[in-house]
Amino acid sequence: MKCINCGTKCNSLYRHYSKDIIQLEHCIHCKELVDKYIEFDPVIICLDALLLKREAFQHVLSNNSTQAQWKLTSILLLFDAYTKLVHQRQNGDQINRPMPDSVFKIRPSSDKLRLYEIVRGILLSNFGKILVIPAVLWGYNEMYVWLSAIFVCASNVQAFRVLCPSWPAIFCAVLVISSHVVASTTGRILYNVHSAIK
C-alpha cells in the first residue's frame, strides 16, 4: 500500500471504528489522505484513469485488489483480440501474426520492482484499447485506431511513472514509445516474412 500523492509506503489505508464507520488515514510524509479513491465508485476511478490522473493509476496499481485487476486485464485482452481480428478481416489478412504490445527492458534501479508488478501495470494501462471497440462496431476508421494507440502510450507512460517514481518522466516516455515502435516493427517484419514464404 502506498500514498497516491507522494508514493510513500503506508501500513493501512483506513481505520475501522465500527462495522460501518471508517476513517481514511493521512500520509506521514505529505499529510494528505493516503488514498481518497477507497471511498470512490469504480466508475469515477475509471474516469480519472481515462483522464490519465497519476493518483488513479497509483490507486489501481498499488492499493487495489489483484483479483479485480486480472478480471479487467482479461476483458482488455479480449477487446484487443477482437479489434485485431476485425482489422485483419477488413484488410484481407488470413494469418494471425504476433503483435506484442510492449517490449521493454528493465534497467537496474533502487526501486527493486518485481517483474510481476511491471507486467501487471503494463497490462492494466492498456485499458485505452477499449476505445477502439465503438469504432470497430460503428464503422472501422484507421484514425480511431491511431488515437487509441496514442492514448495507450500515454497510459503506459503514467503506469511507468507510478511504478518507477525515481525514473524521469522523459525516460518513461522514451521507453514506452521505443517499445511500441519495436513491437510494431517486429510485427510488420514477421508479417512480411510470412507473406514472402507463402
pLDDT digits (tens, 9 = 90+) for 86-143: 767 766 655 444 444 444 444 444 445 567 788 888 888 888 877 777 776 777 677 7
pLDDT digits (tens, 9 = 90+) for 51-84: 889 999 899 888 887 777 777 777 777 777 777 7
Q: At what angle do helices 142-163 and 169-197 cross, to 10 degrees?
A: 130
Element (H, E) at 69: helix 66-90
pLDDT digits (tens, 9 = 90+) for 22-61: 899 999 999 999 999 988 888 888 888 888 899 998 998 8
Q: How many CB atoms lie within 10 A of CB 160?
A: 23
CA–CA distance, 156 with 185 (Å, rounded to integer): 18
pLDDT digits (tens, 9 = 90+) for 156-175: 999 989 888 888 999 999 99
Element (H, E) at 16: strand 14-16
CA–CA distance, 131 with 63 (Å, rounded to integer): 25
Q: Is the pLDDT of residue 198 over 80?
A: no
- Confidence at residue 149, expressed as pLDDT on a 0 to 100 scale: 85
Q: What is the DSSP letter of 139?
A: -
Q: How many CB atoms lie within 10 A of CB 52?
A: 15
End-to-end CA separation in angstroms for the chain: 52
CA–CA distance, 12 with 184 (Å, rounded to integer): 42
- Confidence at residue 29, expressed as pLDDT on a 0 to 100 scale: 93
- Return the half-sphere exposure (C-beta side, CA atoms, 13 A cut-off) of residue 58: 22
